Structure 1
Amino acid sequence: MSTVHDTAALLPEPAELRVHLRALAVLDGTIGGDPEFCRHTFHPDWGPGEEAARMDNGSGDEFTVLFTAAGVLLLGFDHESEMSPYRTDDEEIWPGVVDDVPAALRPLLDDASPVTACLWRETGDTVWRAGPAIEFPAGNEHPDGSDYLFHLLTDRSPETVRAHFEDYYERPVPLDAVRHVLAGHPVTPGITTALAPPAP
């Protein structure tokens, strides 16, 4: 069984995660060229003192990563998960998923979308955390969808990222250009042309 607890062990430091999420948004926007079809976006002015990275696959699965002075909160939603609030009459979040989010980060839950997976890291903490008392549905290898939702955050290799964008946009993507952007380097005209060659 793969859950948020496995994801927590694979996430990088918050600063590295932020750089990576910004790079995913840049790659998506450059390769695709049309914001309407971008899965990954980054919002530096999400709220007062807040930045947000978003993923929305257009099929009902999404995540939001919120960066604040108090720490970082990851909220994911797998619409097919048995833990979806929409599978209950009261549409409540699955017990234990957000119950232990620390007080400093709890205000970020006020406008949260439906949630099946939640992780957090307070400023000054040394590890990522998730609800310690979640009772996951039995007999399901992917109960909260976290391994799928956060795949590009736990496996951040250029090869994995390239494979993702090649699959989504159904065309080749040069690995060197992906490496360049993931390293946080400026997107030069040459990199833009490599990632989004002009139509013949």
Structure 2
Amino acid sequence: MSAVGGVRSHGDVTVYDVARALPGIEELRDHSRGLAMVEAVLSPEWESRYYSFDAHWSATEQLASMKDGQGGEYTIVLSAAGAFARGFDHESPMSPYGAAADGVTWPGVLDGVPEAFREYLTEPAFTDEDGIHVTTACLWRETADTAWRTGPVEFTGLEDHEDPDGSGGLFHHLTHRSAQAYAEWASDYYERPVDIEAVRHVLALRPLTAETVAALNPDVTLADLAEDVREIGYPTA
């Protein structure tokens, strides 16, 4: 397994590039909670949110997730063992449902997953009704690791695709973590101005204020967010 290898044409974005750009586990956890909290303010209806975070996914696990509403998603399980991330781009040529993959997870994507995370290879939330792991990109990092790791995925024959496994797009706001990057994207996605200073406040995990919430969405109050704050595990004053 490797965090940096792979066969690819120059300029392509693959899971190997994402592995190099992702932060450490705790920074990833904090940024994911911040993204989820901003989304909770911008999009009161949970089903419409792009980013979510469940601080109580199980008694020992937390779950950061993304759903783009068009079939793209990621899930990142955070536990005492470390972090296990999987992404699925339904338009990727590496999709199990595409002609090239022939109904199975792309070779190498799940190879080398350590014992600490093996249970997630059969986790129903990550597999379809036939037991196929719905994944085009997979990364993991045990607590003692100094880098994110991936399976030995070969991208030969996919040189015409700038983001063959979808990882560049799926994990974009985890590899590009500035408030500006998110605010610009969110203003386009939600089709309204998004206050960058309010985004910066929330991504820094500062306790929510009425002013910050109103700057992001005047139709939402602090009281409205109480359940989201609890679910996300967002810090309070």
Determine if the TM-score, normalized by the shorter chain, exceeds 0.5.
yes
Select which of 90, 96, 104 maps to 1:79. 90
Aligned equivalents of 2:118, 2:19: Cα separation in 1: 19
The answer on whether the counterparts of 1:181 and 1:187 sit within 8 Å (CA) in structure 2 is yes
The equivalent of 2:22 in structure 1 is: 11
* 1:28-55 residue CA offsets vs partner (Å, 9 max, x unmatched): 1101222221111111111230000110
Aligned 1:95-174 pairs, distance under 5 A: 95-111=107-123, 112-113=126-127, 114-131=134-151, 133-136=152-155, 137-174=158-195
Aligned residue type for 1:117: A
Alignment root-mean-square deviation, CA: 1.4
Q: Secondary structure at the match of 1:144?
A: coil
Aligned equivalents of 2:219, 2:148: Cα separation in 1: 42
* 1:73-99 residue CA offsets vs partner (Å, 9 max, x unmatched): 110000000000012575211000011
Aligned equivalents of 1:24, 1:198: Cα separation in 2: 19
1:197 and 2:209 correspond: no
* 1:110-168 residue CA offsets vs partner (Å, 9 max, x unmatched): 1224100001101111101111x211133222110000000000000010010121111
Quick one: structure 1 residues 139 and 45, their matched pair in 2 at CA, closer, same or farther if it must change by over 3 Å? same
- Deviation for aligned residue 1:109: 2.1
Q: Secondary structure at the match of 1:86?
A: coil
Aligned residue type for 2:189: Y
Aligned residue type for 2:33: R
The equivalent of 1:53 in structure 2 is: 64
Aligned residue type for 1:86: Y
1:186 and 2:198 correspond: no
1:38 and 2:49 correspond: yes
The answer on whether the counterparts of 1:33 and 1:196 sit within 8 Å (CA) in structure 2 is no
The answer on whether the counterparts of 1:162 and 1:173 sit within 8 Å (CA) in structure 2 is yes
| Structure 1 gap ranges (5+) | none
Q: Secondary structure at the match of 1:179?
A: helix
Q: Which has the higher strand share?
A: 1
| Structure 2 gap ranges (5+) | 1-11, 128-133, 221-237
* 1:9-44 residue CA offsets vs partner (Å, 9 max, x unmatched): 111110010000011110011012222211111111
Aligned equivalents of 2:201, 2:20: Cα separation in 1: 26
Aligned equivalents of 2:121, 2:56: Cα separation in 1: 18
Aligned residue type for 2:153: I
Task: Name the % identity.
Answer: 47
Aligned residue type for 2:111: D
Aligned equivalents of 1:196, 1:3: Cα separation in 2: 35
TM-score normalised according to structure 2 size: 0.80
